[in-house]
Structure 1
Amino acid sequence: MTGTARRRTSETPTDRQRRVWDRTAPKYDRQMAFFDRTWFAGGREWIGRRARGRVLEVAIGTGSNLPHYGPDVTVTGVELSPAMLAIAHDRAAALGLAVDLREGDAERLPFDDASFDTVVCALALCSIPDPAAAIAEMKRVLVPGGTLLLVDHIGSNWWPIRAAQWLVGQVTVRTEGEYFTRRQLPLVQAAGFAVEETERLKAGTVERVRARKPHRR
């Protein structure tokens, strides 16, 4: 067994995701351009219209959502991959935006409780190793009454497409850690959020969720 093979057999799921996204970073925006125009069309704008106050974007990636936030918000972004984060830094600078960008893990967010008014996660819970842990962390850092905004691809509600997604996932889960049949809404509900808005698009393969953290009683 080679040294690289030994390292990969011992790496954690989070380590693997960091490696995958570091490798993908230089071509990510180019690969996503078509999908943003078609499969996920309007999703980033949907997020931007609903984000308010102090915004945390979890798994900010290359910063593709940054152009869509309003001028009245302050944005903090956290990203596992240093290579993706470097591109986000460049994008923020090109846009003239003062964005606080930090390297960190969605499952262990480096922020105090009740630090943000809005938490955003777009196209990332499909590959975060423990999405329930990540959603619990998003709830922790939200203020009571704060808003959670999610956009992601999920398993279709039309069985022929879902079957195709399952087949693709047999490869992508092993190689990229990416799941095509996950659905985040049940995890949001199980975490105790009050779901206020949901929408499924593209034969049920894309879901947008707006939910609120309950106020303390």
Structure 2
Amino acid sequence: MTGATAKQRRVWDRSAPNYDRQIAVLERIWFGDARDWLGRRAHDRVLEVAIGTGRNLDHYTPEVTVTGVDLSPEMLARARRRAADLGRAADLHEADAEHLPFGDASFDTVACAFSLCSIPNPRGAIGEMWRVLTPGGTLLLVDHIGASSTPLHAAQWLTERLTIPLAGEHFTRRQLPLVEAAGFEIVETERLKAGTIERIQARKPG
């Protein structure tokens, strides 16, 4: 585990007790129906990367099987409680998104929501998502990204001068070029909230 990854584990372990309360506010005013969007498109064997406290669990259809990984043991503990409360079977593992502990072509869907913004090596994580997807499999990403508005993008860049060293949180990253560079076929993209939220559905050829 790199130093940056170990730092992220500490950040998310510390954040875990208050995460659900804090993120709920952002979801109401900023993220919209992103979790519903993701859940409706997931199918068959689903891997959720950086599952956190499991906030997507009740958005998946009953027909899919859910496996989840997260770097933080404290976040995973809360995800396990949420799964139990929902009566939702979920196979949850402590793991690094850049080194997924699964064989090639193990999943039909890989999903990641609001997490590539803080994964130290997003290119490496997307490469791992490619590896564990079956040919023809679906990649679903939702994240906050650099705004399409120049003044707002500049404000995000200034914010990053604090958030990157403190918490590894990026606001001007954009995942779409990395997804395309990895070889995925883009099925659907949408930018919302002045371009600060992006949804991506992509397909691994095969």
Partner of 2:173: 182
Deviation at 1:66, TM superposition (A): 0.3
Does 2:96 match 1:105?
Answer: yes
User: Which residue identity is paired with 2:4?
Assistant: P
Identity of aligned residues (%): 67
> 2:94 aligned with 1:94, yes or no?
no
- Shift >2 Å, 4+ stretches: none
The superposition leaves residues 155-193 of structure 1 with CA deviations (integer Å, 9 ceiling, x where unpaired) of 001011101100100000000001000000000000000
Alignment of 1:22-33 (within 5 A): 22-33=13-24
Q: What's the counterpart of residue 154 of structure 2? A: 163
Question: Residue 52 in 1 paired to residue 33 in 2?
Answer: no
SS of corresponding position for 1:62 = coil
* TM-superposition CA deviations, 1:28-66 (whole Å, max 9, x none): 000001111121010000001000000000000000000
> Which residue type is aligned with residue 58 of structure 1?
V
Once the two structures are superposed, residues 4-32 of structure 1 have per-residue CA deviations (whole angstroms, 9 ceiling, x without a partner) of: xxxxxxx7000000000000000000000
How far apart, CA to CA, are the structure 2 residues paired with 1:31 and 1:201?
21
Q: Which blocks of at least 5 consecutive residues in structure 2 are unaligned? A: none
Deviation at 1:133, TM superposition (A): 0.2
Which amino acid counterpart does residue 17 of structure 2 have in structure 1? P
Write out aligned runs for 1:47-86 (5 A): 47-86=38-77
Q: Indicate the residue corresponding to 2:3 in structure 1.
A: 12
Give the TM-score of the pair, scaled to structure 2: 0.99
Matched position secondary structure for 2:179: helix
The CA distance in 2 between the partners of 1:34 and 1:104, in whole Å, is 27
**TM-score, normalized by length of structure 1?**
0.94
Is residue 2:136 matched to residue 1:145?
A: yes
Cα distance per residue 1:111-146 (max 9 Å; x no partner): 000000000000000000000000000000000000
Cα distance in 1, alignment partners of residues 136 and 183 from structure 2: 12
Distance in 1 separating the partners of 2:182 and 2:142: 17
> Greater CA radius of gyration, 1 or 2?
1
| Equivalent position amino acid for 1:35 in 2 | L
Gaps of 5+ in 1: 1-10
CA-atom RMSD, angstroms?
0.6
